[in-house]
Amino acid sequence: MQKKKINTPRLIISEKLIEHNYNYFNNSIFSESARIFYSLKANNHPSVIRKLKSLGSGFEISSDGELEIMKKEKIKPELLIYSNPVKIPTHIANAYKYGIKKFAFDSENELKKIKKYAPKSGIFARINVANDGSEWKLTGKFGVTAGESVNLLKKARLYELNPIGITFHVGWNNKSHTAWENALNTCCEILSELKKNNINLRFVNIGGGFPAHNVNQYTKLNQIAKIINPLLQKIKNNFNVEIYTEPGSFIVANSGVLLVKIFDIIERNSKSWIYVDSGISQGFYWIFSGLQYNVIYPYKISKNKKLKKYVITGPTCDTHDIFTKDAFLPEDLCMDDYLIIYPAGAYISSAREYNGFGYPEIKIFR
Ligand SMILES: Cc1ncc(COP(=O)(O)O)c(C=O)c1O
């Protein structure tokens, strides 16, 4: 088969798919009434940002690095929320200076910091919710109980801050609608309790977690929407709040593929090793914690072609640099054949300086 020459490794992103995903999400989750703040950490490439900006998206950021990206792309501060609940003080000050007025928090310490570095800002409490059904749990490090969130939101006034919202994250790639259902019921309890204390919040932020990795994301989103949309309507009616969302993966995960080329094939220790020109240090660290990516042979496979089990390994000298130990691919794979690693649109290119936290400066002492 004649194969077109393409430079590799190459991460290929489809803007069309991003547009499709954004519109699909916007039409499904609370039918365009929910405000989307795309989670920048999922993919911060300028083209992705520009596409989403043109579609009317807001952005969720968490650090100075991400703020700088937003400034560069001229994203207005009104379109930004700062959802990292525990922030580096100078990062709060810089966000405030830019005009950001909405900050997540989950402790009294954070209220003190926000009062000092972003006085009179709006604050929203991160609550800890069950992450059952998710593939990557986001519990433990952040979030307070419903009761603690009420106490902290009441305390905000002591710090001359404005209690404006609550937020949660059900965990990455969560395929269970029950996670949102339970979290939203908790939000109702919090909103009722606050109402009794004359505190009326402006929004409920349902975070990210919408499934997009190795799943039919559109069918799954429909199932989730069917359950949560009536609940969101009830919350909006009863408490007069806006609904915010922070999808990351749903918007970008399936929009990207990594194209790699085979540069060696070796039979070793009773296994067939395929060496490709990019590896897990190029943003696929998530594999260390058990995430799985697909290795795809991008050409037509004839019916009578036999498949064989391969280990797909990257180019580094690190023995952990393995995409998968059981890829079933044609037995006659050759040097210079291309392979595709999928999905690669979310958390791969942005893993380089993840979440906007750059590498430390190096100081050599002599
Ligand atoms: C605060 C916050 N919002 C949104 C997201 C995006 O989540 P996802 O990629 O699951 O949609 C994340 C991801 O870690 C997050 O930490």
Which tens digit of pLDDT belongs to each residue from 288-315?
999 999 999 999 888 888 999 999 999 9
Query: What domains, with CATH codes, occur in the chain?
Result: 14-253 (3.20.20.10), 255-351 (2.40.37.10)
168 C-alpha to ligand 1 centroid (Å): 10
Ligand 1 atom with the smallest distance to the CA of 253 is 9
User: For tokens 């954070």, what's the residue?
Assistant: 110
pLDDT at 171: 98
The residue contributing the CA closest to ligand 1 atom 7 is 208
Task: State whether the beta carbon of 210 lies less than 6 angstroms from ligand 1.
Answer: yes
Ligand 1 centroid distance, CA of 156 (Å):
25
Q: With a 6 A CB cut-off, is 110 part of the ligand 1 pocket?
A: no
Buried b (16+ CB within 10 A) or exposed e, 35-64: bbbbbbbbbbbeebbebbbeeebbbbbbbb
Q: pLDDT by residue (tens digit) across 209-258?
A: 999 999 999 999 999 999 999 999 999 999 999 999 999 999 999 999 99
| Ligand 1 midpoint to CA 246 (Å) | 6
pLDDT in tens, 112-165: 999 999 999 999 999 999 999 999 999 999 999 999 999 999 999 999 999 999
Residue 30: its pLDDT value, please?
92
Of ligand 1's listed atoms, the one at least distance from the Cα of 167 is 1
Please tell me the distance between residue 138's alpha carbon and the centre of ligand 1 in angstroms.
Answer: 9
Ligand 1 centroid to 344 CA: how many Å?
16
Q: Measure the CA–CA gap between 258 and 295, rounded to whole angstroms.
A: 10
Query: What is the distance between the alpha carbons of residues 13 and 223, in angstroms, rounded to a whole number?
Result: 27
Each residue of 60-111: pLDDT tens digit?
999 999 999 999 999 999 999 999 999 999 999 999 999 999 999 999 999 9
Ligand 1 pocket: which of 18, 37, 170, 172 to mutate (most atoms within 8 A of CB) = 172
Closest-CA residue to 21 (of 205, 254, 246): 254
State the pTM of this model: 0.97
Percentage of residues of the chain with pLDDT beyond 70: 99
245 alpha carbon to ligand 1 midpoint, in Å?
10
